[in-house]
Chain A
Amino acid sequence: MTTVEKQIRRFLVENFLYDGQEDDLAADASFLEGGIIDSTGVLELELFLEETFGIEVADEDVLPENFDSIRRLVEYTTRKLQLAAENGGSWKADSMSQASELLKEVVVWEPTGQ
């Protein structure tokens, strides 16, 4: 399990489920249909991703295919991290080193120009 997934699972347990283990959540379980989070929780997830991983979540990205399960969230976050690494933008300065470490778990990536 990558750090991205671990952090997402921990956030969900601590802020929405309150009990249970982080591993208990099925990767493909729908958050909204499964009653795991409420509708306001989607927006809290958005803020969590931005603050934790330093990515910018565009309004048009807040869609069920990106947000409505652990797997989808992890894949979305990873894509955003990769895009930022390729383009060198959309990262908050204080999270760049953390994001670099996260990406190393996912791809073989060599930072340039830092």
Chain B
Amino acid sequence: MRICSRCVLPASFPGIRFDDNGVCNFCRTSATFQTRESRRAELQAKFARVVESARTASSYHCLVAWSGGKDSTYTLAVLKEEFELRVLAYTFDNGFVSPAAWRNMQAVSSNLNVDQVVVRPRFDFLRQVFRDSVSSVQYARKALSRTSAICNSCMGLAKFAGLRIAIEQDIPMVAFGWSPGQLPLSASIYRPRPAMAKAMMGATVGPLQRAGIGDASTYFLQDRHFAAAQHFPWEVSPLAFLDYHQDEIFRRIERLGWSKPSDTGPNSTNCLLNSLGILVHQTQTGFHPYASELATLVREGKISRDEALRRMETPENPDTVRLAMERLGLASLDFSSAQLGSPGQKGSRGL
């Protein structure tokens, strides 16, 4: 399959077009380096102001969504050590957090001296959400261009469960460890008004409810949360506008006791469900759910094109996929056997 000669987006990516040089329209219309740097500088200044206002909170300054993965661990470290914020680390246990990730969180929370709270919905609910995300939950096409349906469901639940904690405990800021490629700069610092937050939440909970997951609303914000407008926190994704260098990230978090898990797939450092989500997405859409993120990282010079292609081509660990399928009660799925490779097997460039 044809792939952009500059980034890694394939011909199957929604809305893509190639010019005579094989460069895709997303590359051609992306912001220039100067524009990006100018925006990043503005956001850094805005973040500094948000941080100063957050310091007036009497309890925690910031709730940090912490999956135990590389980027959220780095985010936690930066906010605690460089910005010297009083942080509450919040982990959403989706039932598939890898044992290695739990060990990492234990080591890092101890070495960083941070409080941690874990939200663990009951697994029968999570199983229904993830099973239905494979088959019947319908997200917007744009949402599926950013990540898989399974990840959309999980992230939606995790985000709003975190916002509940922040609103109920008057924590003025919620930080996420999204990489620079996972969300646009325009979404990296904002504080929604309750009415818009409710509408945004509807874009996540609506698909779950329409798929028949009746308990879904229990895990999201309720009317009483929206009524307290003054308690709505800032939502920030610092890695979108702070320096992002993979070597520095690993160096810093390894110093805190973090080590790269060997029990997850090639595209996750914390989640045992991720591989199944990737394979389902590839089968249903024809492109890798990380394509958009990786393409952005390539355009911004954060990783090489070769590295991005390697991440997309490395086959998912079949044991991780089978584990997830068993736990979700998925007896069989319509997967091509060629997509379940053995470790070290080089996958095809096409999908």
- Are A and B co-members of a single complex? yes
A interface list, Cβ under 8 A from B: 14-19, 32-33, 35-44, 46-47, 59-60, 62-65, 67-68
User: Is A14 a contact of B196 with CB atoms below 8 Å?
Assistant: no
- Judge whether B202 is part of the interface by a CB distance below 8 angstroms: yes
- Judge whether B214 is part of the interface by a CB distance below 8 angstroms: no
Tell me the complex Cα distance, A22–B203, Å: 22
> 8 A–B contact pairs at CB < 8 A?
A15-B15, A16-B140, A32-B206, A38-B139, A43-B190, A59-B190, A60-B193, A62-B190
User: Is A41 a contact of B15 with CB atoms below 8 Å?
Assistant: no
- Judge whether B142 is part of the interface by a CB distance below 8 angstroms: yes
User: Is A35 a contact of B199 with CB atoms below 8 Å?
Assistant: no
- Nearest 5 pairs of A and B residues by beta carbon: A39-B200, A18-B15, A38-B143, A47-B186, A18-B14
- Judge whether B329 is part of the interface by a CB distance below 8 angstroms: no
User: Is A63 a contact of B193 with CB atoms below 8 Å?
Assistant: yes
| A residues in contact with B199, CB < 8 Å | 32-33, 42, 64, 68
- Judge whether B212 is part of the interface by a CB distance below 8 angstroms: no
* A-B interface contact total, Cβ < 8 Å: 81
- Judge whether B260 is part of the interface by a CB distance below 8 angstroms: no
Tell me the complex Cα distance, A14–B186, Å: 18
> Contacts A44-B184, A59-B190, A62-B192; is A35 near B15 (CB within 8 Å)?
no
Bitwise, B137-150 to A at CB < 8 A (1) or not (0) is 01111110010000
From B141, B190, B200, contact of A17 by CB (8 A): B141
User: Is B186 a contact of A37 with CB atoms below 8 Å?
Assistant: no
Tell me the complex Cα distance, A77–B196, Å: 17
Q: What residue in chain B is nearest A45 (Cβ atoms)?
A: B186
- Judge whether B112 is part of the interface by a CB distance below 8 angstroms: no
A64 to chain B, nearest CB (A): 5
| B residues in contact with A41, CB < 8 Å | 140, 142
User: Is A38 a contact of B196 with CB atoms below 8 Å?
Assistant: no
User: Is A33 a contact of B190 with CB atoms below 8 Å?
Assistant: no
| B residues in contact with A59, CB < 8 Å | 190-191, 193
Interface positions of B from 182 to 206, Cβ below 8 Å from A = 183-187, 190-193, 195-196, 199-204, 206
| A residues in contact with B200, CB < 8 Å | 32, 39, 42
B interface list, Cβ under 8 A from A: 14-15, 138-143, 146, 183-187, 190-193, 195-196, 199-204, 206-207
From B146, B183, B187, B202, contact of A32 by CB (8 A): B202
B28 to chain A, nearest CB (A): 12
> Contacts A18-B14, A63-B193, A63-B196; is A38 near B203 (CB within 8 Å)?
yes
User: Is B203 a contact of A35 with CB atoms below 8 Å?
Assistant: yes
| A residues in contact with B139, CB < 8 Å | 35, 38
Tell me the complex Cα distance, A88–B190, Å: 27
User: Is B187 a contact of A43 with CB atoms below 8 Å?
Assistant: yes
Tell me the complex Cα distance, A18–B287, Å: 15
User: Is B186 a contact of A43 with CB atoms below 8 Å?
Assistant: yes
Q: What residue in chain A is nearest B29 (Cβ atoms)?
A: A14
Tell me the complex Cα distance, A38–B147, Å: 12
User: Is B195 a contact of A35 with CB atoms below 8 Å?
Assistant: no
Q: What residue in chain A is nearest B17 (Cβ atoms)?
A: A14
- Residue of A33, A39, A44, A68 contacting most chain B CB atoms (<10 Å): A39
| B residues in contact with A44, CB < 8 Å | 184, 186-187
| A residues in contact with B195, CB < 8 Å | 63-65
| A residues in contact with B192, CB < 8 Å | 62
Tell me the complex Cα distance, A67–B184, Å: 18
User: Is A33 a contact of B196 with CB atoms below 8 Å?
Assistant: no
Query: Given known contacts A60-B193, A63-B196, what 4 new A-B pairs fall within 8 Å (CB)?
Result: A32-B199, A38-B142, A40-B184, A47-B184
| A residues in contact with B184, CB < 8 Å | 40, 43-44, 47
A67 to chain B, nearest CB (A): 7
| B residues in contact with A46, CB < 8 Å | 186
User: Is B186 a contact of A38 with CB atoms below 8 Å?
Assistant: no
Tell me the complex Cα distance, A15–B145, Å: 10
User: Is B196 a contact of A42 with CB atoms below 8 Å?
Assistant: yes
- Residue of B142, B200, B201, B206 contacting most chain A CB atoms (<10 Å): B142
Q: What residue in chain A is nearest B14 (Cβ atoms)?
A: A18
| B residues in contact with A33, CB < 8 Å | 199, 202-203, 206
| A residues in contact with B14, CB < 8 Å | 18-19
